[in-house]
């Protein structure tokens, strides 16, 4: 679906932000793009969505070079959720969706009311102006806007931002459902849990370079020290010891009266990111 | 305490510089001065020209400023404009030809004037009792109007745009947790605006009235400019801190400009009589400014008491608005 | 044209208070001009005389009233103050035996100064009228020069206010971040320009047509030229709105630009119309402002002038030039 080879980009002469990125995103895949602020992830997304021009290297979408596909047909096939919920503040959710959907072929468009219901949008607010909505409600309308044209390729920038825990679960469910329909999803996020739960593969970008790219599972496995922490009771005292995971197969190499808990010491995606880049995500 | 006030002053001065407040004021000063000196001082209305067609030259007592024409058509064309007067003396009894201007009294005056041109008598000149000639009157009048407009409208907008920037940045709310008094926050802005307005008033007056006449009126003008500046700055502060966005402020500004300032100008500038205008507070400020320029008797104590009361009330309102803004969330 | 899109764009305009006020303002002013219809706005043009109570004879007073308005003051001091008042052109008239003497402030327009200096002579020859014949030609134009001027200023304001609708629309899109969504919508640059021009154009045309309906009394033959002026001017205004929307980086700057444009479009035509004689270089140069052509054209229509070819051609030329300028600058910005 997306093919990026040796992608470079500079703002002006001396400000190169992308230093030769290489990655592919497969059809029907949820691909996570993770990086700290200023790492170049927004620039990459802008190039992929056709907003930024003048890049180096090759970028292909739907099997064609982006410079050739950047047409109305191309924009009809993509959906973009921006980091901030951009909407007409003085129009209602329904009016916003009807307005934006008017640019797509009728047969491609979903019904705004049904879509908002799927996103568990409060029905009382359907016809009230967006200026009266909470951040979470605006995010739901924005998501609906991105989905309204049934896009083949969906770009999501911080999709869970501004949502309460139940909203986050709902959004993850909807993204999974979109993938099941065959939509390819390109997610840019700071949220490691989301990336871990949602993405088939993730790429870590730092200073305009991709420093790691694999599935969250593989990354964690590859970077795991394969140790577990065992908490146990011995002679009335609670103690803790770290052992190799393989040692769990046999008899534990220490005396104990009772095992309280066993924790795997598998690293989180954030740990791995810090390991690769030497800095955190924020 | 004094240190924090100077920090506020410094910050507000920088904000004013960055919002191009001074640049706009200098631009206005140049624009107004050019208009006054190149256009307005020359504004005049000449007396009705009188054209005479007298092929036989029978009229002997004709005034020297009567213009001779040499054909009836020329006479006809000359007085077609509804202002000029024609006298046809080609057929014995002179005929006064007047194309009506639509105002019967003015037509009558034109007719009388034509009669005087045919008469041999001399008129006793009118006694001049005023202190100004036409040019100086024009200079004082338009300078007063421009200063009023600048302080009432442009200064008001200048302060608001500065305050809205602070509001957008959210730094006003930061001041709620700093050891700065709310009054000081308002006063620092007020002092700077007042200082800038007084400087503007002085320069505009000296540039357009000349140094000697300018210096003569300056003390009274500065008092009125100070009053107007403080009232408008405080009103600008209150509205910009209370209204949620610049768009709504602009809306209010438009209404203020059209519906409040226009009648003041109409009443102050023309003879159109509006009995209710004395209830319009801005009219009194405008009249006081004009009086200051013409060195007319200063307004009575009620006027100054009203001004002081307004400044005090507006200060309280501004403080209340600031207090509300600081407590606001999001 | 995406009509559904346009419908919602107009809906956002309808909910914008500033746009609504912009739309209604010329209409309200138009109604006010109509209400002022009976008020004599020309009273300021006739001479005004001030006299002192019990000073002049009835005959003298009625003679003065034939040629100007007369105000009676209690004392000479009160009269002096009124004469010196800079906002009036009052002439003081006092008796002097069988004659009159006149007081003036010395700062009057030349017309009033000359009247003041000749008034005693006019009084002396007041009975000579019978010696001469008089022809009073009817007024060529309407007796009120101020009213058509106010009507045309209101119409110009309504037409060129059209730039507010699309400028505010574009600026609100910038503020709400819609500008980012526009980048990824299947909408071509041409579609975008069409939509924004339509917003400004429709707003301007509608507001002006209602204003014209409220304050202009047009004959059937005048309707078409007025409509043509409205259409062409509103088109130019909507192009200017596009420029403002593109150039301003925020609402504050945008509102400032709109105010500057309004001053630039309203003040010069009035000034040139009143000060520069038709056919002169200044008058010709004034066509550089599109509003000048509209102003002269509408004044011509109200004064019964049939020849409006120059104004229409100038407006069409402005339409092309502004449009070309927008396209060229857009391409440069894109590249």
Domains: count for chain C: 2
Domain assignment present for residue C104? The answer is yes
Strands (E), chain A: 2-10, 16-25, 30-34, 56-61, 64-65, 78-81, 153-157, 184-189, 201-206, 209-214, 227-234, 237-244, 258-264
Mean pLDDT of A267-273: 82
Grouping H, G, I as helix, E, B as strand and the rest as coil, residue C92 is strand
Task: List pLDDT tens digits, range C306-322.
Answer: 667 888 999 999 999 99
This prediction's pTM = 0.71
- Cβ of B98 and C103 within 8 Å? no
- Asked if residue C136 is part of any domain, the answer here is no
C8 touches chain A (CB under 8 A): yes
What is the percent of chain B with per-residue pLDDT over 70, rounded to a whole number? 92
pLDDT digits (tens, 9 = 90+) for B70-92: 888 888 888 877 788 888 888 87
**CATH number for position C117:** 3.40.190
Measuring CA to CA, which residue among C259, C291, C260, C256 is closest to residue C273? C291
What does the CA dihedral C170, C176, C178, C181 come to, rounded to 10 degrees?
160
Report the C-alpha gap between A127 and C11 in whole angstroms.
13
Residue C164 shares a structural domain with residue C305? yes
Query: For residue B330, is pLDDT > 80?
Result: no
* Among C97, C131, C165, residue at a domain's last position: C131
Ramachandran region, residue A208 (left: φ > 0; alpha: ψ -120 to 50; beta: rest): left
Alpha-carbon distance A166 to A168, whole Å?
5
Question: C198 with C244, same domain?
Answer: yes
Domain ranges of chain B: 2-38+133-327, 50-118
For chain A, the structural domain boundaries read: 2-220, 225-265
The CA distance from B264 to B281, in Å, is 9
Q: Does residue C183 sit at the A interface (CB-CB below 8 Å)?
A: yes
Q: What's the Cα-to-Cα distance from C138 to each of B201, C65, C147, rounded to whole Å?
A: 49, 22, 19
Cα torsion at B57, B59, B60, B63 (round to 10°)? Answer: -110
Q: Do A87 and C183 touch (CB under 8 A)?
A: no
Q: Are A159 and A81 in contact (CB under 8 A)?
A: yes
Residue range B131-151: mean pLDDT, rounded: 87
Same domain, C62 and C122: yes
Torsion angles phi and psi, residue A185, rounded to 5: -125, 125
Contact A187, A251 (CB under 8 A): no
**Is there a contact between C134 and B132 if contact means CB atoms under 8 Å apart?**
no
Residue B52 host element (H or E): strand B50-53
Rounded to 5°, the CA angle C298-C302-C305 comes to 85
**CB-CB neighbours of B167 under 10 Å:** 20
The reply to whether C206 and C328 lie within a common domain is: yes
One domain for residues C313 and C169: yes
More confident: B164 or B70: B70
In this structure, the answer to whether residues C248 and C123 fall within a common structural domain is no
- Beta-bridge partners for A21: A7
Phi, psi of A77 (to 5 degrees): -100, -5
Using CB atoms, pick whichever of A86, A98, A145 lies closest to residue C176: A86
Residues C224 and C316 in one domain: yes
How far apart CA C28 and CA B135 sit, in angstroms, is 37
Are C150 and C125 found together in one domain?
no
Which secondary-structure segment (H or E) carries C133?
A: strand C133-137
Chain centroid to Cα C334, Å, comes to 38
Residue C170 maps to a domain: yes
CB contact under 8 A, B105 and C47: yes
CB-CB under 8 Å, C187 with A103: yes
- Sort out which chain A residues have CB atoms less than 8 A from C15's CB and list them: 90-91, 129
Number of Cβ atoms within 10 Å of the Cβ of A171: 23
Q: Residues A107-151: pLDDT tens digits?
A: 888 999 999 999 999 888 988 999 889 889 999 999 999 999 999
pLDDT tens string A4-62: 999 999 887 778 888 889 999 999 999 999 888 788 888 898 888 888 888 889 999 88
Q: Where are the alpha helices (DSSP H) in chain B?
A: 2-18, 21-38, 72-78, 104-118, 134-149, 155-169, 171-174, 182-209, 211-242, 246-255, 262-269, 281-293, 301-327
Contacts of A50 in chain C (CB under 8 A): 183-184
Best CATH choice for the domain A2-220 from the list 3.30.70.980, 3.40.50.1370, 3.40.50.300, 3.40.50.170: 3.40.50.300
The boundaries of the domain holding residue C167 are 3-37+142-334
- Whether this model's ipTM surpasses 0.90 comes out as no
């Amino acid at each position: 679906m997306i093919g990026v080879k040796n992608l470079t980009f500079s703002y002006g002469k001396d400000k190169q932000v992308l230093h030769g990125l290489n990655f592919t995103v497969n059809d029907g895949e949820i691909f996570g793009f993770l990086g700290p602020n200023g790492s170049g992830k927004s620039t990459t997304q802008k190039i992929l969505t056709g907003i930024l021009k003048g890049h180096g290297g090759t970028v292909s979408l739907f099997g064609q070079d982006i410079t050739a596909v950047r047409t109305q047909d191309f924009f009809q096939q993509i959906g973009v959720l921006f980091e901030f919920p951009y909407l007409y503040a003085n129009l209602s959710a329904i009016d916003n969706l009807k307005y934006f959907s008017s640019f797509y072929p009728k047969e491609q468009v979903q019904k705004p009311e049904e879509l908002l219901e799927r996103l568990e949008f409060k029905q009382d607010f359907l016809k009230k102006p967006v200026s009266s909505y909470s951040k979470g409600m605006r995010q739901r309308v924005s998501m609906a806007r991105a989905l309204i044209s049934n896009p083949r390729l969906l770009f999501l920038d911080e999709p869970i931002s501004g949502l309460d825990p139940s909203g986050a679960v709902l959004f993850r469910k909807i993204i999974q459902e979109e993938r099941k329909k065959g939509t390819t999803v390109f997610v840019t996020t700071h949220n490691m849990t989301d990336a871990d739960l949602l993405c088939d593969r993730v790429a870590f970008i730092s200073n305009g370079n991709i420093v790691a790219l694999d599935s969250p599972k593989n990354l964690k496995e590859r970077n795991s020290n394969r140790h577990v922490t065992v908490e146990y009771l011995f002679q009335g005292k609670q103690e803790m010891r770290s052992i190799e995971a393989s040692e769990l197969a046999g008899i534990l190499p220490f005396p104990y009266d009772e095992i309280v808990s066993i924790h795997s010491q598998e690293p989180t995606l954030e740990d791995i990111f810090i390991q690769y880049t030497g800095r955190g995500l924020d | 305490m004094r240190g924090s006030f100077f920090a506020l002053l410094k910050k507000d001065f920088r904000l004013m510089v960055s919002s191009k407040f001074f640049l706009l004021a200098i631009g206005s000063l140049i624009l107004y001065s050019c208009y006054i000196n190149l256009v307005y001082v020359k504004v005049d209305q000449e007396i009705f020209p009188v054209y005479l067609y007298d092929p036989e030259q029978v009229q002997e007592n004709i005034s020297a400023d009567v213009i001779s024409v040499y054909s009836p058509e020329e006479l006809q064309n000359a007085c077609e404009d509804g202002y000029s007067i024609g006298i046809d003396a080609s057929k014995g009894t002179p005929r006064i030809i007047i194309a009506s201007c639509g105002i019967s009294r003015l037509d009558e005056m034109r007719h009388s004037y034509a009669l005087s041109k045919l008469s041999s008598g001399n008129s006793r000149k009118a006694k001049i009792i005023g202190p100004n000639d036409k040019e100086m009157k024009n200079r004082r009048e338009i300078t007063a109007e421009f200063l009023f407009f600048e302080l009432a409208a442009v200064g008001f907008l200048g302060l608001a745009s500065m305050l809205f920037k602070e509001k957008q940045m959210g730094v006003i709310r930061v001041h709620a947790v700093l050891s700065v008094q709310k009054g000081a926050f308002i006063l620092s802005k007020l002092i700077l605006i007042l200082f800038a307005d007084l400087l503007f008033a002085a320069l505009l007056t000296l540039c357009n009235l000349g140094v000697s006449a300018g210096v003569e009126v300056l003390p009274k003008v500065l008092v009125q400019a100070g009053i107007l500046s403080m009232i408008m700055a405080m009103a600008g502060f209150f509205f910009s801190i209370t209204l949620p966005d610049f768009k709504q402020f602009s809306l209010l500004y438009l209404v203020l400009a059209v519906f409040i300032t226009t009648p003041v100008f109409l009443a102050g500038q023309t003879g159109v009589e509006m009995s209710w205008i004395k209830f319009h507070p801005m009219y009194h400020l405008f009249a006081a400014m004009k009086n200051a320029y013409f060195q007319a008797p200063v307004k009575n104590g009620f006027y100054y008491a009203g001004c002081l009361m307004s400044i005090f009330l507006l200060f309280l309102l501004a403080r209340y608005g600031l207090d509300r803004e600081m407590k606001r969330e999001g | 044209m995406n009509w559904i899109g346009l419908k919602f764009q107009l809906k956002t305009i309808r909910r914008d208070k500033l746009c609504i006020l912009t739309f209604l303002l010329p209409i309200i002013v138009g109604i006010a001009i109509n209400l002022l219809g009976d008020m004599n706005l020309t009273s300021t043009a006739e001479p005004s005389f001030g006299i002192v109570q019990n000073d002049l004879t009835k005959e003298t007073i009625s003679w003065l009233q034939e040629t100007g308005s007369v105000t009676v003051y209690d004392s000479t001091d009160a009269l002096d103050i009124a004469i010196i008042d800079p906002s009036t052109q009052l002439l003081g008239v006092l008796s002097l035996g069988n004659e009159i003497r006149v007081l003036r402030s010395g700062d009057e327009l030349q017309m009033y100064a000359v009247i003041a200096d000749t008034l005693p002579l006019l009084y002396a020859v007041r009975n000579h009228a019978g010696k001469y014949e008089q022809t009073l030609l009817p007024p060529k134009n309407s007796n009120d020069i101020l009213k058509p001027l106010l009507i045309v200023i209101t119409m110009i304001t309504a037409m060129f206010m059209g730039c507010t609708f699309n400028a505010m629309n574009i600026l609100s899109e910038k503020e709400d971040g819609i500008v980012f969504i526009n980048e990824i919508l299947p909408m071509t640059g041409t579609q975008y320009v069409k939509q924004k021009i339509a917003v400004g154009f429709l707003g301007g045309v509608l507001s002006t047509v209602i204003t014209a309906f409220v304050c202009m009394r047009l004959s059937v033959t005048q309707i078409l030229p007025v409509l043509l002026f409205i259409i062409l001017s509103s088109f130019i205004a909507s192009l200017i709105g596009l420029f403002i929307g593109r150039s301003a980086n925020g609402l504050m700057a945008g509102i400032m630009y709109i105010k500057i444009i309004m001053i630039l479009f309203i003040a010069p035509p009035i000034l040139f119309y009143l000060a520069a004689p038709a056919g002169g270089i200044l008058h010709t140069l004034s066509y550089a402002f599109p509003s000048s052509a509209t102003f002269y054209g509408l004044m011509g229509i109200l004064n019964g002038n049939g020849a409006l070819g120059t104004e229409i051609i100038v407006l069409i030329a402005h339409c092309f030039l502004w449009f070309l300028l927008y396209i060229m600058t857009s391409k440069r910005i894109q590249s």
